[in-house]
Amino acid sequence: MGLCFSKPDIKDEESEHHVEFGAGNVHLITTKIAWDQKLEEARSDGKIVIANFSATWCGPCKMIAPFYCEISEKYPSLMFLVVDVDELSDLSTSWDIKATPTFFFLKDGQQIDKLVGANKPELQQKVTAMADSLAPDGH
Protein backbone atom coordinates (compact mmCIF):
# COMPACT_ATOMS: atom_id res chain seq x y z
CA MET A 1 0.00 0.00 0.00
CA GLY A 2 1.44 3.35 -0.98
CA LEU A 3 1.31 6.88 0.28
CA CYS A 4 0.58 9.88 -1.88
CA PHE A 5 3.21 12.54 -1.72
CA SER A 6 4.05 15.67 -3.59
CA LYS A 7 7.76 15.18 -3.44
CA PRO A 8 10.49 17.69 -4.05
CA ASP A 9 12.22 17.25 -7.37
CA ILE A 10 15.15 15.45 -5.82
CA LYS A 11 16.49 12.32 -7.40
CA ASP A 12 18.37 10.22 -4.92
CA GLU A 13 18.38 6.67 -3.67
CA GLU A 14 16.30 7.50 -0.61
CA SER A 15 13.36 8.71 -2.70
CA GLU A 16 13.07 5.20 -4.13
CA HIS A 17 11.84 3.91 -0.75
CA HIS A 18 8.50 5.74 -0.94
CA VAL A 19 5.60 4.63 -3.08
CA GLU A 20 3.70 7.52 -4.59
CA PHE A 21 0.19 7.87 -5.90
CA GLY A 22 0.01 10.02 -9.00
CA ALA A 23 -2.37 12.49 -7.37
CA GLY A 24 -2.73 14.05 -3.99
CA ASN A 25 -1.97 17.25 -2.23
CA VAL A 26 0.23 15.73 0.49
CA HIS A 27 3.77 17.00 0.98
CA LEU A 28 6.38 14.63 2.38
CA ILE A 29 8.58 16.42 4.90
CA THR A 30 12.06 14.95 5.13
CA THR A 31 14.00 17.80 6.77
CA LYS A 32 13.45 20.35 9.53
CA ILE A 33 14.16 23.05 6.93
CA ALA A 34 11.32 21.74 4.72
CA TRP A 35 9.03 21.69 7.79
CA ASP A 36 9.85 25.31 8.60
CA GLN A 37 9.40 26.35 4.95
CA LYS A 38 5.98 24.70 4.67
CA LEU A 39 4.79 26.26 7.95
CA GLU A 40 5.96 29.67 6.76
CA GLU A 41 4.28 29.14 3.37
CA ALA A 42 1.02 28.18 5.12
CA ARG A 43 1.27 31.21 7.41
CA SER A 44 1.75 33.61 4.51
CA ASP A 45 -1.07 31.95 2.51
CA GLY A 46 -3.43 31.89 5.50
CA LYS A 47 -3.70 28.09 5.35
CA ILE A 48 -4.24 25.66 8.19
CA VAL A 49 -1.71 22.81 8.24
CA ILE A 50 -2.62 19.20 8.91
CA ALA A 51 0.58 17.39 9.86
CA ASN A 52 0.43 13.59 9.87
CA PHE A 53 3.22 12.12 12.00
CA SER A 54 3.47 8.62 10.59
CA ALA A 55 5.78 5.60 10.34
CA THR A 56 6.43 3.14 7.52
CA TRP A 57 6.09 0.17 9.89
CA CYS A 58 2.77 1.39 11.34
CA GLY A 59 -0.25 -0.61 10.14
CA PRO A 60 -2.88 2.03 11.03
CA CYS A 61 -0.74 4.68 9.29
CA LYS A 62 -0.79 2.62 6.09
CA MET A 63 -4.52 2.05 6.47
CA ILE A 64 -5.38 5.74 6.71
CA ALA A 65 -2.83 6.99 4.13
CA PRO A 66 -5.13 6.62 1.07
CA PHE A 67 -7.93 8.40 2.95
CA TYR A 68 -5.56 11.21 3.98
CA CYS A 69 -4.53 11.50 0.33
CA GLU A 70 -8.18 11.57 -0.78
CA ILE A 71 -9.22 14.33 1.61
CA SER A 72 -6.12 16.36 0.71
CA GLU A 73 -7.54 16.70 -2.80
CA LYS A 74 -10.94 17.88 -1.51
CA TYR A 75 -9.57 20.70 0.64
CA PRO A 76 -7.04 22.81 -1.31
CA SER A 77 -7.42 25.59 1.29
CA LEU A 78 -5.54 23.36 3.77
CA MET A 79 -1.92 22.18 3.63
CA PHE A 80 -1.40 18.45 4.19
CA LEU A 81 2.00 17.25 5.40
CA VAL A 82 3.43 13.84 6.29
CA VAL A 83 6.37 13.48 8.65
CA ASP A 84 8.08 10.10 9.07
CA VAL A 85 8.79 9.87 12.80
CA ASP A 86 11.85 7.70 12.18
CA GLU A 87 13.36 10.01 9.56
CA LEU A 88 12.74 13.14 11.62
CA SER A 89 12.98 11.84 15.16
CA ASP A 90 14.11 15.20 16.60
CA LEU A 91 11.07 16.98 15.15
CA SER A 92 8.78 14.17 16.33
CA THR A 93 10.25 14.39 19.82
CA SER A 94 9.75 18.15 19.88
CA TRP A 95 6.05 17.58 19.11
CA ASP A 96 5.86 14.89 21.82
CA ILE A 97 4.67 12.12 19.48
CA LYS A 98 3.75 9.07 21.56
CA ALA A 99 1.74 7.10 18.97
CA THR A 100 1.37 6.97 15.20
CA PRO A 101 -0.46 8.25 13.37
CA THR A 102 -0.82 11.57 15.17
CA PHE A 103 -2.42 14.44 13.27
CA PHE A 104 -1.73 18.01 14.33
CA PHE A 105 -3.83 20.92 13.11
CA LEU A 106 -1.73 24.09 13.04
CA LYS A 107 -2.57 27.71 12.39
CA ASP A 108 0.28 30.23 12.22
CA GLY A 109 2.57 27.43 13.42
CA GLN A 110 0.55 26.90 16.62
CA GLN A 111 -1.41 23.77 17.49
CA ILE A 112 -5.17 24.35 17.38
CA ASP A 113 -6.25 20.69 17.45
CA LYS A 114 -4.86 17.15 17.54
CA LEU A 115 -6.02 13.64 16.70
CA VAL A 116 -4.20 10.49 17.78
CA GLY A 117 -4.98 7.31 15.85
CA ALA A 118 -6.33 6.29 12.46
CA ASN A 119 -9.92 7.38 13.08
CA LYS A 120 -11.34 8.19 9.62
CA PRO A 121 -14.68 9.71 10.74
CA GLU A 122 -13.01 11.93 13.33
CA LEU A 123 -10.25 12.97 10.91
CA GLN A 124 -12.90 13.82 8.28
CA GLN A 125 -14.89 15.81 10.83
CA LYS A 126 -11.87 17.80 12.04
CA VAL A 127 -10.60 18.50 8.49
CA THR A 128 -14.08 19.65 7.42
CA ALA A 129 -14.31 21.92 10.46
CA MET A 130 -10.90 23.43 9.67
CA ALA A 131 -11.84 24.03 6.04
CA ASP A 132 -15.17 25.57 7.09
CA SER A 133 -13.38 27.91 9.50
CA LEU A 134 -11.44 29.33 6.54
CA ALA A 135 -14.41 29.60 4.18
CA PRO A 136 -16.09 32.97 3.74
CA ASP A 137 -19.46 33.22 5.47
CA GLY A 138 -22.33 31.71 3.53
CA HIS A 139 -20.35 29.03 1.67
Q: Known catalytic residues? A: 58, 61
Nearest residue to 103 (alpha-carbon basis) of 59, 65, 56 = 65
